[in-house]
Structure 1
Amino acid sequence: MELTGIRRNGALALIIIAWLCVIVIGGIGFYDHGSWHPTAIAAAATLIPSYLVYSGRIDATTRMLLGGTLPVYPAIMLFQAAGSSLQMDIHMLFFALLAAIVVMCDWRAIVTGTAIIALHHLGTNFLMPAWVFPDGADLPRVILHAVIVLIEAAVLIQVSLQLERMIERQAAARREAERLEQDAAITREAIAAKQTLVIGALGEGLKAMARNDLTARIDQPFPPEYEQLRADYHGALEGMRSSLDKISGVATRIDESAGDVSHASNDMADRTERQSATLHDTVSTIRSVSDSISETANRAVEARHVLDAAQGEAEKSSGIVERAREAMTNIESSAREIDQIIAVIDALSFQTNLLALNAGVEAARVGEAGKGFAVVASEVRALAQRSAEAAQDIKTKIGTSNEQISLGVSVVSETSETLERITARILQISEFVATIAGSVESQATKLREVNSTVGALDGITQQNAAMVEETSAAARSLAEQSRTLAQEISLFRLGQAGSVKAAPKLARAA
């Protein structure tokens, strides 16, 4: 804002303060039921500066008039407060209103207000002391107030001068900025014209590039400061043409390589698939063999259990045969003892027969008296004869029985030896079967491990097959994309053979 505008705003603010003071004076008069003359004087003193300010005349005279008017209001308030305890406090209003004058940034208005305050204090101190101090005339106090007012005025004048210079410098700076802005606008227009030329030429070149034409050059020279831009455009154009040539060649080579990769991937996929099928069959076969061996191992374990049971039964049979052999031996011993008893019986029968024979001979010798005795002797001899025959028969049967018992003992002994040999063989067979069962179980375990390993290998082979299939698909996709890239590049005009060579053929697929 210019200094004039600041001073106008400051004057308007002071006019508002002045009318507020008039209202306060009227309020004091109304409150004290005093005369209306102070209010009229204050209003009359305010009318002239108010008219000048609102009419737009904010010259030095108006500012000085306004600066001299403001001290009038505290002077009237001192008159109204004569004899009151507030009379001394109202002196502060002089300092406040004097400080308010600085808003107009005019040291002359401050000097005018200071002069009015000084004249008021000196005049009333000598002429009407009661209008200025409650205790009457007091020259030292007037001098003290004068010193304070002068110090304040000096400070306010200095502030006003600095504000005025600062505002003037700001105004000058603003004017200089406006001038520079005008120069800058002229410069911008010139630059805009150059830029329009440059942008138009570049736009045409870029439009040609958008149409895939890389042969469009900018022949019109640019302003010197933009000439490098034209050179950069041509360099970028050449770079793009060179890059597209290289990309076209790379696309062709990628297409060929992708075809080779796709073919190799398909071959590998076929081999991997066959390998996977073979491994799958191998896994099935090994699983079947493993199950068969596991079944054999189970049967071997069962055979071992049967042999263990047979061994137990053979051992029991051996014990039974041993007891039978012992019983037969005992029977043989008993038979021999019976044979001895029969021999004794036979001897007794012979002796009895001899005694009976002798008794018969003696009875015959005796004659008729020994006839009864002869009969008894005959009966005894017959009985002895039958006893001898029975004993002989028993001896014969016992001999035959002894022969059978001896044969039975021999057979039982051979049976016992045979059972012992069978038991030993069964024990050997049990050990062999246990060894076979352990070996078969170990083979079954190893086959299960082999089956697991081959199964894992089968899974890996299937994963490889899937990966090879993905690789083959990726190779086919790469070939298709390289063909698309070559087709897109062929749309550009590069200024060599009219356009990039035709897109390469799609890579072969298996």
Structure 2
Amino acid sequence: MWLPAFAHLLLCLGVGLATGTLGLTVIFAVTAFPLAALVQWKLPGHIVNGFIKAALFMGLSIVLIEQSGGMIEAHFSIFIMLAVLILYSDWRVIAFGGLVIAVHHALFTWLQYGGHVHLYQSVGSHGEKASLIASLLMHAGAVVAQVVVLGFLARELRHMVDDSLTVCEFAETASEGRLDMSLSSAQLTRPAIASISNMQQKLTGTLGAAREAAKQVNALGDGLFKAHDSVRSQARHNTAQVERVSAAATELAATTRESAEKTSQTRQLATEAELAAKSGGAKAASLRDAMQLLEENARNIASLLGEIDNITFQTNLLTLNASVEAARAGEHDRGFAVVASEVRTLAQRTSETAGRIRERVQQTETGVRSGVQQTQDVDQTMQQVMKTFQEVASRLAEIDHATSQQHLGIEDLDASVGEMQSSIQRSAHSLEDAHRLAEHLAQVATSLMASINEFTFHEDSIPSTTAKHDRPTLPAPSAASLNAPSPVT
């Protein structure tokens, strides 16, 4: 406020030099300016400081009017300086300035009527009373109108300044993370403060919802982290199990391959044994035929021995007849009797030998018959053995085929287990990535919670997800709106 005051003082000094009234300006400046500076120093921001500034401005206008001899242009400085007082944003300061100039005009109108001063240029020093009163009323009406208009503008400007200060205070508190600034119901009637309140409410609701969401995200992040940790442990366990299954499948594949080879070898041995059994059966059949032929020959020998017995019997009869005839012949045929006796002895020996041969042949026939029976039994056994070997060979062929199929199936299982192992490894890598992402999500949620918790706001102003966003009732005006008027430069 000192800048317009000094500008006005310079104007008065210039007019004083031109009109020879410089002393009046100096006297006023030496008296009024130190007083205004002292009040501002002692009472900064007080309403008295505004009153002193208003009186100083009006005093400068009075000096200028007096220096110019009441020129109408000098009266314009009153309206200019009253307009400058609007910067105080307080109608009382403007009204006090109007009161000062009103008292001055009333007093100086009376003094002009007495011929002591010259306030109105259009009226003489000893003007008529009616003209002076008319001039006073015109000037008073203009000043009153100016004061009313400027007072209204100052009041509105005060509201705007208060609103600006409130907005600044809200911005400062919001920058510090505090959104719990209280606003009065009177303040909420003004658009700017209502917008700030609406923004505060929406921002509080948004931050509250963000805090709840951050809590949920934090909880979900923790749960996801734990779940991924459990799944990762299970995946590691599954990987170990699959590795063991893979090793077992590989070992089983090798075992089945070896079993298939041994089964094939056994089948070949069974085939060879079947051929050997067939050969043995053929030889047993040949032996059976030979034993049957031997039995038949033994029967033939027995038949021949029977003929020998007949011959021996007939020989004995002949020797007996010869002995009888020799006995009849007497001494002359004694030699014949000896021969007949020897022949009979030979026949007896032959009969005995034939008996022994018959016994041997009977024994041989019995043995041959037993051998033939055993050969038949052996032949039947060999036939059963051949059937058994054929069945064994058939079963071994089936086992060989089944073992081969089993080996192929186990190889497919081994390949499938290998693919499963690769898939589990890829899944393990994916789980590791997901685990890191879950850990990062938990860290981000924690950081978000920490950032949101830096803000302070009314818990009851957080709207629920189903409630409407009604304007909250805020108590108590802020201290900024009650501060003493101060100039806005």
TM-score, length-normalised on structure 2? 0.50
TM-score, length-normalised on structure 1? 0.48
Higher RCO (Cα < 8 Å, 6 or more apart): 2
